[in-house]
Amino acid sequence: MPSWATLLLTLLAASLSATQAAPTRRDSQLSLAETIKALRDAPMAINRANILDYPGGYQFDFLNAKNSGLGKDGPFILADNGNFHAVIGNGMSMFMAFIGPCGMVPSHTHPRATELELIVAGGPMLTGIMTEAGGPYTVGYGNVTFFPLGSIHFQQNLGCDPAVLVAILNSENPGFSVISNTYFGLGNETVAASLGQAEETIPMAINLGQESCLQRCGIDRDTYDISAWSKLDFIRAAYKTVVDQH
């Protein structure tokens, strides 16, 4: 005959193991959808913390992360709900770009986020916003610029050296939609009907930008390709320019 105390302990142990049975990313191989659901359903912060209690749960390594895009003139990485689960339910994400000489992030939009962007080193950076009175204007290192929700914008490094930039976006899933790719992705017949011709190769990531910059910096569009550079190579070269100027 179990005593009341034993019964209570058994019940307590059962309820504890029910709590511990809550899914965690560390213990089980949760899919992305299951991770998002578990974090959204977590009743308290401690439950979220348990789910995120695995190496990298609260830490995103931009230097070693898989690139979100890589062009001839550098990589960019977006840390969002897909690869950085701590942001799930918190409405934020972060973007980092390593932009080679004269490199350009082609005109794009984040359909679900406003962006605050810091030029960390290098530049100056020509940016423009395709909305009301949106430039283009140039920003230098140490300066922050702003792109409103859904606006079409671009970043063109006007420097003959690399630039590094970091941005915060107010959505955990901001989206990155390159205008030319999206538009031409409508299909050649639709595009041909609208424009009269269709393009085959459209840059998706950071590619060599404006012709005037390439000429000024002596860069040959056909042969120049620094896509094999490490991210540290970009940081070193971009900081060298800042240090050399001071």
Ligand X SMILES: *[C@@H]1O[C@H](CO)[C@@H](O)[C@H](O)[C@H]1NC(C)=O
Using the minimum distance from each CB to ligand X, give the nearer residue, 77 or 242: 242
Residue with smaller CB distance to ligand X, 36 or 99: 99
H/E element holding 205? none
H runs (alpha helix) in the chain? 4-20, 32-41, 45-51, 179-184, 188-195, 211-216, 231-244
Which residues between 138 and 157 bind ligand X (CB under 6 A)?
140-143
Q: State the Cα–Cα distance between residues 76 and 117, nearest whole angstrom.
A: 14
- Footprint of ligand X on 162-221 (CB under 6 A): 188-189, 192, 198
Nearer to ligand X, 17 or 197 (CB): 197
Question: 84 — phi, psi (to 5°)?
Answer: -135, 90
Cβ-proximal residue to ligand X, closest one: 140
Provide the token pair at 26.
């560390």
Q: H/E/C letters for each residue in 80-130?
A: CCCCCHHHCCCCCEEEEEEECCCEEEEEEECCCCCEEEEEEECCCEEEEEC
Shortest spacing between CB 81 and ligand X, in angstroms: 32
Q: State the Cα angle at 170 between 102 and 107, rounded to 5°.
A: 30
Nearer to ligand X, 86 or 129 (CB): 129
Of 118 and 152, CB closest to ligand X: 118
140 vs 7: CA distance, rounded Å: 69
**Least distance to ligand X from the beta carbon of 75, Å?**
23
Closest approach, Cβ 242 to ligand X, in A, equals 8
Residues 39-58, interacting with ligand X (CB under 6 A)? none
SS3 at position 242:
helix
Tell me how many residues contact ligand X (CB under 6 A): 9
Q: Which residues contact 126 (CB under 8 A, 6 or more apart)?
A: 136, 137, 138, 155, 156, 158, 210
Residues recorded for the chain: 246
Between residue 72 and residue 91, which ones bind ligand X under the rule CB under 6 A?
Answer: none
**Nearer CB in complex with ligand X: 71/159:** 159
- What is the closest distance, in whole angstroms, from the C-beta atom of residue 199 to ligand X in the complex? 11
Nearest approach, Cβ of residue 45 and ligand X (Å): 39
Annotate each residue in 101-140 with x if it binds ligand X (CB under 6 A) or - if it does not, as one string.
-----------------------x---------------x
Contact 39, 88 (CB under 8 A): yes
Q: How far apart are CB 237 and ligand X at their closest, in Å?
A: 17
- CB 189 to ligand X: min, Å: 5
Output 111 or 187, the one with its CB closest to ligand X.
Answer: 187
| Residues found near ligand X in the complex (CB under 6 A) | 124, 140-143, 188-189, 192, 198
